[in-house]
A and B are shown apart, each in its own frame.
Chain A
C-alpha cells in the first residue's frame, strides 16, 4: 500500500515537472509594453496602444479610421508620433521569437522607424530596410527639420533619415543608450544620452557642435526655445544651456530624476520630476515660481493651454492645475487609482489620456469628469 502511494507521488511529480517547464517556456515571452502620448490631428487622435498597435481614431464618432500594422502587432510603442505634411513618423520595435521544443527560446529584438500616410495608415517606408541591418528599439519620439527625420535608438545612435524615402543621411553614435527623443532647432539637433552627455549636432551632417556633461545619465528629450536648451537628468537636475555653445545658464535640483521633457510656456518652465512634483520655474533664472506635489511620480511632460496645466502622475491619474499659481483645478480619478505614464493630449474641451490599463479616457477639460472611454485594442 505504502509503495503504491510512493509510486503515485512519483508519477505525479514527474508529470508536474514537464507541465511546469512548458508553463515556464510560455511565460518567457515579453509582454507588450510601452507608453505613448496621444497626438491630435484634424479631428483624428493618433495613439499607440498597449498591444503594440498605432490607431487613428475619429474623435467625434470614436470610430477607428485605421490601425497600424493592419495585421499583427509591434512589440511596444513608447514613441509619441509626430505629424508633418500628411506623414506620421514614429519609432517602435519588433520581437521575433524562435523556439526549439518550446523551451530553448531566442528573441530577436529589432528597432523600427516608420513613416505612415496619415490619411490611411499605409506605410511609406521603414528603417532599417530589410533584415541585413539590425538596430535596437526606437523609444523616443522623432524630431523633424531640414527635410530629415531624426530618430534616436537604444543602440546609442542618432539616425538622420530622409523624410521622403527613409534613406539614412547620417548617423552619430554616443557612448550609451538613448531612450529620449531628439529636439531640432535652427539647424541643430540636440540629444541626451545615458552616457551623461547632451550633444548638439549639426542637423545636416551630424558633426558635433558642442557637448555638455551632466552629472547623471540623460534619458530626457530636450526642449529648445530661442537661444536656450532645457533638459533634465538622472542627477535630479534640470539644466538650462546656451543653445549656441552649451554654456550652462542655470540648473535647478529636484528630489528625484527628471525623466521627461521640461516644457516652456510664457516664460515659465514646467519640470516634471519623479519626486512626485511638478516645478514651475522662471525660465530666465531657474527660480522657483511654484511647486505642485502629485500623489505619485510624474513620468511625462505636462501640457499647458489657456492658463491650465494638464499632467499625469503614474498611478495617480491626471490633474489640471492653474498655470499661474499651481492650484489644483481637478483630479481624475477622485477615488481609486489610474496608471498613466504618458503625457495627455488636449483639444478644446477634452483631455485625452492613454492609460496603462489599455483604455483611452476623454475627460472634461474644465471639470475632469469622464466624458467617455474606449479600449482601442478591443474589436469594434
Chain B
C-alpha cells in the first residue's frame, strides 16, 4: 500500500512537475516564463475558491462599522459580543471561515508547486536522479519534451534560478509583494488587541519570506513574486482598485484617501 508521500507525489507533485516542463517547452525554453505560466494556471484552477475568499473578506470589511457598534454595546461581555457578531455575519450571509478555509485548501497546491519548481531545477546529481522518477516517461510527448528540455536552462538575466539572488533584488521584491498582499488580504480586526497582532503579522511575514529568499533558489522567489502579483491583481479586479491604491502610503491622486484601522481597532479616514 503506497504511503502518504507516494500518494502526494502521484497526485500533486508529479502532475505539476510535468506541466511545468510542458510549459517550459512551450514558452521558449524560459524557466521564469514557465514558473509564471504554472502559477497563473494553478491560480485559474483555484479561481472560484479565491474569488469567494476575496468577496467574503470584502463583505467582512464592509460590516466593520456595525461590528464596532456591537463592540461598544457589548464591551463588557465577550460571549454576547461573539454571539451578536456571528448573528450579524449570518444575517448578511458572510462566513468568517471563508477567510482562511480557501487558504488551507490551497496550501497543498502551493507546496506541490514549490516542490515541483525545486525538483525541476535539479542542481545536484542527487536531485537529478530523483527527477527521473517523477517524469511521465510512458507518455511519448512528455518523454520527448523531457528529453529535449533537460537540463533546464536555469539562467535568467543575472540569476541562476537554482541559486539565491546574489544582488538581493528578489528578496526586496518578495518583501514588497508580500507586504502589499498582506495589507490587502488582512482580515478586519474585531478588537484592538487583534488589530495590533494583525499589524505585527503584516510586518513579520514579509520580512520572514524576504529572509527565506536569501537562502533558497531564486526560481522559488520568482514563484512567490508571481503568485503575490497575481493575488494583488485578482483582489484589485474583484473588489476594485480603490483598495489596492489605498494601502499605498499616500494613495493615488484622484482616488479616495485610505481608510485604516486605528490602534483602537476603529476605522478612520486618513488625512
Residue ranges of A at the interface with B (Cβ–Cβ < 8 Å): 2-3, 5-6, 9-10, 13-14, 17, 20-21, 24-25, 27-28, 33, 35, 78, 103-106, 139, 176-177, 179, 194, 215-217, 219, 234-236, 255-257, 259, 274-275, 297, 299, 314, 341
Provide the residues of chain B in CB contact with A17, threshold 8 Å: 204, 207-208
Q: How far is the CA of A167 from the CA of B73 in the complex (A)?
A: 86
**B193 touches A (CB below 8 Å):** yes
> Are A3 and B147 in contact (CB-based, < 8 A)?
no
Q: Are B132 and A10 in contact (CB under 8 A)?
A: no
Check if B249 is an interface residue, CB within 8 A of chain A. Answer: no
| Cβ A3 vs Cβ B211 within 8 A | no
A103 touches B151 (CB 8 A): no
Are B125 and A179 within 8 A (Cβ)?
yes
Q: Which of A5, A9, A17, A27 gathers most chain B CB within 10 Å?
A: A17
Least CB distance from A26 to B in Å reads: 10
State the 9 A-B residue pairs at the shortest beta-carbon distance, nearest first.
A6-B193, A28-B215, A216-B147, A274-B132, A235-B147, A257-B132, A21-B211, A194-B151, A299-B129
Q: A6 — which chain B residues lie within 8 A by C-beta? A: 192-193, 196-197
Most buried by A among B125, B148, B151, B193: B125
Point out which of B132, B166, B200, B201 has the most chain A C-beta atoms below 10 A from its C-beta.
B132
Chain A residues within 8 Å of B208, by CB: 17, 20-21
With known contacts A17-B204, A104-B214, A106-B166, A255–B137 Cβ distance under 8 A:
yes
Main secondary structure of the interface of B (DSSP, over half): helix
Flag if B125 contacts A139 (CB, 8 Å). yes
Measured CA separation A103–B168 after assembly (Å): 12
CB contacts (< 8 Å) of B211 on chain A: these are 21, 24-25, 103
Residue pairs across A and B with Cβ atoms less than 8 A apart, 10 shown, are A9-B197, A17-B204, A33-B124, A33-B126, A104-B214, A139-B125, A176-B151, A217-B150, A234-B147, A341-B129
In whole angstroms, what is the CA distance A176 to B141 when docked?
A: 24
In the complex, what residues of B have CB within 8 A of residue A255's CB?
A: 137
Consensus secondary structure, chain A interface: loop
CB B12 to nearest CB in A, in angstroms, measures 21
Known: A21-B211, A255-B137, A257-B132. A3 touches B193 (CB 8 A): yes
B212 within 8 A of A: yes
Q: Hey, which chain B residues are within 8 Å of A257, CB to CB?
A: 129, 132
- The residues of A that contact B146 with a CB separation of less than 8 Å are 234
Interface residue from B133, B192, B207 paired with A274 (Cβ < 8 Å):
B133
